[in-house]
Structure 1
Amino acid sequence: MDLDIDTVRVARTREDCVLLPGEAFLGGGTYLYSEPVPAGVTGLVDLTGMGWEPWSVDGAGLRVAGTCTLEQLVSGPGALGAHTGGPYRALGLVAPCVSALTLSAKVARMATVGGNLALGLPAGSMVGLFAALDAVAVIWTRGVSTSGGGSRVVAVADLVTGAGAVDLAPGEVLREVRVPSAMLAQRTVFRRASLSSTGRTAAMVTGRAGGQGPTITVTASVSAPLSLRARDHAAVDRWIDRLDSTGAWFEDVHGSRDWRAAMTRQLAHEALDELAGT
C-alpha cells in the first residue's frame, strides 16, 4: 500500500478541523489505507488527536465518539449489554453488529464508528446498529469555532442516503452518536445473511421491541436503511412486496437482488417472531 499524499496533520482543537484545500479527514484509516487515494486528496487531518472520550453513559443515554474504535465499542457498551436483562440490554446488539463486519482483531483496534458510518456502505453495520436504537449523529459543521453553535443533529437512520452517500457536507465532522436512555433497556434482535460464513453481509435486520410495537430496520440488502413498525407478519409481507415493486434492493457480487429480497423477508419474519416472544 502506498498513500500518495503530501501532508498529515494531527487535529487537537476544533480549529484544527478546518480543512485546507486538498485535505480529507482521517479516522482509523482502515478503509482509506485499503483503497486508492480519492482524486484531489493531497493531505490528511487525523481526528484521533482530538482525544475524545470513546464512550460514556449518563442519564441522557449513551454517547459514542466518532473516533471510538470498534474494539472499544465492544469492550465498553457491548460489555454493558452482555446480560440479557438490566438497564442496558439493548446494547446486546453491539457485538453481533461488529462481528457482521468480519474484521480481523487488528482492524477492529483501528477502525472507528464514525468512519464506518461516514462511508455509507450498505454492509457497514454501524448504521444498522444505531438506526435500530433510534440514535442521532451530532455533526460539527464546517469552519465554525467551538464557541456558539457550529453543529447539527441528524437521525442515524437518515444519515446514509444511498450506497456510499451520506448527509455530510465537505468539511463536516461526525463528532458523536447519541442513543436515548429510553432505548437502552429495550429488547433487541439481530439477524444477518451472507453468501458464506465469512462473506460480506448481504442482508441484515436489526430491531427493538418498543412500547408502540416492534420496529425492524433493514440494511445491507438496500442502499440506505429502512425501518418499519410492524405488529404482524402480514405487515412485513406488504412492506417487502412494496420494496419488490419499487426495485429497492441493492445488488453486487455479494448477492443478487432476488436473493437479498428473499433473505430479507425471512430475516424480518424471524426478527418479528423473536421480538414477539414466539
Structure 2
Amino acid sequence: MDLNTIEQVTDAADAGAWRPGDGWLAGGTYLFSEPQPHLKRLRDLTAYRWPALTDGPEGLQIAATCTIAELREYPNELFAQCCDAFLASFKIQHVATVGGNVCAALPAGPMTSLTAALDGWCTLEGPDGVRRRVAVTDFVTGEGTTMLEPGEFLRSIFLPASALGGRTAFRQGSLHPLGRSAALVIGRVADGGLVLTVTASTKRPVQLRFAHLPTPAELGTALEGAIPDDLWVDDVHGKPSWRRHLTRMFAEQVCGELR
C-alpha cells in the first residue's frame, strides 16, 4: 500500500532528533499493509546494519532487523516451527523482520510466541540512546499494544542458552489449513518442570511455570486461573470458547509429549 502522507525516508542513524510524525521502518511488511495517516517520516533501522544473529556461550542475540528467513536458518526445530506458523510466502519471509512481528503485537505473531517461550528479553532504545531491558512476556501488553514509549525502538531480543537447550513441544491450530493461528502453545522442559507459553488465543502472551510436569487436571486449573475471560481473543478467526478448548487440548498434548 502507498503511504501518501510520507514526506521523507531517512537512515535512522542520520535522522537526528525524534519529532512528531516519525515512525520506525525495518522490513515494512506490516507498516505498508494498511494506512498510516499519522506518519510523515520513516526512520530506516536497516541502516544500522546490525548482524542478524549473534550466537555466544550465554545465548543468542537476535537483531530486530533479522528477517524471518535468516532466523529460520538457526539450527533449532522450534525456530522452524514458529517461522512456518507465519504461513507467509518466501518473499515475505525474506523481508519481514523478527522485531517488526513482535512490535506489531498481533496475538497470532509467531515471533512473540517463539521469543516468549524461550524466556526472551527485549532491549529497547530511546531517542536519547538510553537502553532498558524488558521480558518479551511483559513487552506485549495487548492486541497491538506494547511497552514502547514515543521514540523508542526495539534493538534486539536475547534468548538465554539455558532456554535454547531445553526440550520443547509445539502445537498450533487455525480455523482453516492456511488460516491465522487461533491458538499456539509451546512447552519447554526446565529444571525437571514445565514452562508453558500460550499465544494467539490470548491478547498477550501468558506463561505458566510448573515445578513438575502437571497432570491434565492441574493444567486445567492453572490455565483457568491465569487467563481471565476478557483475555481470550474474540474475532473472525475463532470464538473465545473454541480458543479456550484448543488451548487446553494443546497444553495437555504438549505436556504428554514432553513427559
Q: What's the TM-score bracket when you normalise by the shorter of the two chains?
A: over 0.9
Long gaps (5+) in structure 2: none
CA contact (8 A) 1:18 1:171 kept: no
**Whole-angstrom distance in 2 between the partners of 1:59 and 1:107:** 31
Q: Structure 2 counterpart of 1:53, which letter?
A: P
Match of 2:51 in 1: 53
**Whole-angstrom distance in 2 between the partners of 1:194 and 1:106:** 23
- Pick one of 175, 198, 203 that aligns with 1:223: 203
Please give the secondary structure, in 2, of the residue aligned with 1:182.
helix
- Pick one of 121, 127, 134 that aligns with 1:154: 134
Q: Give how far 1:245 is off.
A: 5.6
**Whole-angstrom distance in 1 between the partners of 2:67 and 2:145:** 22
Paired residues for 1:222-261 under 5 Å: 222-230=202-210, 231-232=213-214, 233-242=216-225, 246-261=229-244
Please give the secondary structure, in 2, of the residue aligned with 1:237.
helix
Match of 1:89 in 2: none
TM-score normalized with structure 1 length: 0.88
**Whole-angstrom distance in 2 between the partners of 1:113 and 1:221:** 20
Aligned length, in residue pairs: 255
CA contact (8 A) 2:21 2:38 kept: yes
1:215-263 Cα deviation digits (max 9, x unpaired)? 1100000000001124222221102333576442111100001110100
Match of 2:179 in 1: 199
1:33-75 Cα deviation digits (max 9, x unpaired)? 11111x3211111111110000011111100000000000002
Q: Give how far 1:96 is off.
A: 0.9
Larger strand fraction of residues: 2
Match of 1:147 in 2: none
**Whole-angstrom distance in 2 between the partners of 1:163 and 1:118:** 11
CA contact (8 A) 1:29 1:111 kept: yes
Paired residues for 1:1-278 under 5 Å: 1-4=1-4, 5-11=6-12, 13=13, 16=15, 18-37=17-36, 39-75=37-73, 77=74, 80-81=75-76, 92-144=77-129, 150-230=130-210, 231-232=213-214, 233-242=216-225, 246-276=229-259
Compared CA separation, residues 143 and 205, structure 1 to 2 (3 A): same
Q: Structure 2 counterpart of 1:183, which letter?
A: A
Compared CA separation, residues 180 and 260, structure 1 to 2 (3 A): same
Q: Structure 1 counterpart of 2:2, which letter?
A: D
Long gaps (5+) in structure 1: 82-91, 145-149
Q: Structure 1 counterpart of 2:249, which letter?
A: Q
CA contact (8 A) 1:188 1:207 kept: yes
Please give the secondary structure, in 1, of the residue aligned with 2:156.
strand
Per mean C-alpha deviation after superposition, the further-off stretch among 197-206 and 17-26 is 17-26
Compared CA separation, residues 16 and 126, structure 1 to 2 (3 A): same
CA contact (8 A) 1:243 1:249 kept: no
